[in-house]
A and B are shown apart, each in its own frame.
Chain A
């Protein structure tokens, strides 16, 4: 068995067709798209326009509502800080869900230092936003709410449309991090009622180094980078043309091939779910139905997440974990060693859960790979439990 890659939420390989589309813009059509008066700038400029249209088409936006950035992290930073600063004359209160990506969560302290007030909206045990809590917390002076479309650790897809309608009535700006959903499931910014949405391409066979931000026409936003007049002044800096071209092409292909991919991934995901369900002391995370296709996440009592991930890897299966230990293994010190904020928010008790596992399947995943993963997991779980002093206690031993 070759490597079984079940970590598509982390990143995907670049589609060969995408790579081909990018190729001319490295050495041949190398011009600076801002060099509008010379011939060399023409083709790159046109390529950017085409890519912008493809990204817009994927999410139901107009071309001029799509900005290119370097990553979903940058898009999240630009949206939150840029909107907050442009609208601070209307109020200073900003709400995040408590399960946002770090590129949203970790902006809280910085924004507080600028005088903003940050509060967090609760989610329920399945990771769905608590609408009553949201309605309670959207008080006078609230200018911006950011709630992700889907969480990649637990797979839950939020009722963004419902949130969008409520916030529109309240006259509050709404940003949604769509890194987990754009290109994976149908997304339409009009139906969702968002004012800004983060779009990332390297989870659906686009290259790393280019991402997008949808910004509703007419909504003021302050840029983070000062410099040239690229991206309508919202994002100075010479564009990463090859990566942006690849991002656009990946969006086009994702839209074209979405229906079949969603159906296949849903079927494979269900099969993996059903197989994993037979393991004792296992708890699935996220919502059982409202979840990303091909996404299965869980934790197992008496089995530490990093050890499970390492053993899966040694058996040829790539997954990811929200384990406190694993997520911080590269940290410079031990200060960040705590349970995943996502698992804590959905009420997973930190004293019995030490890291969840996330399997995220991709368009090339097969039944055979699912069968193989299911065949190795029980042996690994038994081995780790056998070593665990907690397991024998739970079994009523010494």
Chain B
């Protein structure tokens, strides 16, 4: 493997995405990206007692976008909100064994999706 531009880790997450799907009663949902750019990422979080107990995603995009989404859900499961807020795109990229330079934006998109989902959660919390 790893013949192409992607690491084995990226290909593994692309072929076997972790936590793909939706959470019906999600505590927070974040959608980022733009169809014109070729990537749309939606992240669902289930949060209980300040902890992320479940995370799922749906993504339209290239191999790097799908792998970044999948890896992000793995990295944040079981984390507290504060810990999750600190997750950077560099950490996502590093966990994937690196992304090609032209694909770094996919990990940025994953970080933004996470921020948006946590934002949504906070908004819902203050509304109740």
List the interface of chain A (C-beta within 8 A of B).
Answer: 302, 304, 306-307, 310, 314, 323-326, 328-334, 336-337, 350-352, 354-355, 386-392
Within 8 A of A (CB), among B19-61: 20, 31, 35-42, 58-61
Does the CB pair A302–B60 fall under 8 Å? yes
- CA gap between A155 and B103 in the complex, in Å: 29
The interface size bin for chain B is 20 to 34
Q: Are B66 and A307 in contact (CB under 8 A)?
A: yes
Which B residues are CB-close (under 8 A) to A352? Answer: 35
Residue contact B60 to A388, C-beta cutoff 8 Å: yes
Is B9's beta carbon under 8 Å from chain A?
A: no
Query: How far apart are A182's CB and chain B's nearest CB, in angstroms?
Result: 31
Any A CB within 8 A of the CB of B121? no
B61 and A389 within 8 A (CB): no
Docked-complex contact B38 and A304, CB < 8 angstroms: yes
A-B contact pairs, 6 of them (CB 8 A): A306-B63, A310-B63, A334-B102, A337-B38, A387-B59, A388-B40
> Using Cβ atoms and an 8 Å threshold, which residues of chain A touch B101?
331-334
What's the minimum C-beta distance from B14 to chain A, rounded to whole angstroms? Answer: 7
> B80 at interface (Cβ–Cβ under 8 A)?
no
Could you say which of A330, A389, A390 contacts B5, with CB atoms under 8 Å apart?
A330
The distance in angstroms between the C-alpha atoms of A21 and B41, with both chains bound, is 54
Which one of A304, A328, A330 lies within 8 Å of B60 (CB-CB)? A304
Shortest Cβ distance from residue A345 to the other chain B in the assembled complex, whole angstroms: 17
Q: Are A326 and B35 in contact (CB under 8 A)?
A: no
Cα–Cα, bound, A176→B15 (Å): 42
Structural contact, A325 and B5, CB atoms closer than 8 A = no
What is the distance, in angstroms, from A329's C-beta to the closest C-beta of chain B?
A: 5
B17 within 8 A of A: yes
Contact between chains at A388 and B59 (CB < 8 Å): yes
Cβ of A48 to closest chain B Cβ, rounded Å: 37
Contacts A337-B37, A387-B17; is A329 near B103 (CB within 8 Å)?
A: yes
For B102, B103, B104, the residue with the greatest tally of chain A CB atoms inside 10 Å of its CB is: B102
Interface residue B97 (Cβ < 8 Å from any Cβ of A): no
Taking a contact as CB atoms closer than 8 A, the residue among A306, A333, A350, A392 that contacts B62 in the complex is A306
Residues of B near A310 (CB, < 8 A) are 4, 14, 63
**Is B102's CB under 8 angstroms from A323's CB?**
no
Whole-angstrom distance from the CB of B128 to the nearest CB of chain A? 21
In the bound complex, do residue B59 and residue A330 qualify as a contact, i.e. CB atoms below 8 Å apart?
no
Q: How far is the CA of A354 from the CA of B4 in the complex (A)?
A: 20
- In the complex the two chains form, what is the Cα distance from A314 to B11 in whole Å? 10
Q: Is the CB of B102 within 8 A of A304?
A: no
A325 to B104 alpha-carbon distance, docked (Å): 12
Q: Does B13 contact A (CB under 8 A)?
A: no
Smallest Cβ distance from B33 to chain A, in angstroms?
A: 9
Given contacts A310-B14, A334-B104, A337-B37, contact A326 B59 (CB under 8 A): no
CB < 8 Å neighbour of A307 from B31, B37, B63: B63
A-chain residues with CB within 8 Å of residue B41 when the two chains form the complex: 389
B36 touches A325 (CB 8 A): no
Q: Is the pair B60, A389 in contact by a Cβ cutoff of 8 Å?
A: yes
Contact B62 A387 (CB under 8 A): no
Interface string of B58-75 (1 = CB under 8 A from A): 111111111000000000
User: Whose C-beta in chain A lies nearest to the C-beta of B3?
Assistant: A313
Say whether B79 faces chain A, with CB atoms less than 8 Å apart: no
B41 to A, closest residue via Cβ: A389
Which 8 pairs between the two chains have the least Cβ-Cβ distance? A325-B62, A306-B62, A388-B60, A331-B102, A389-B58, A389-B42, A351-B36, A354-B38
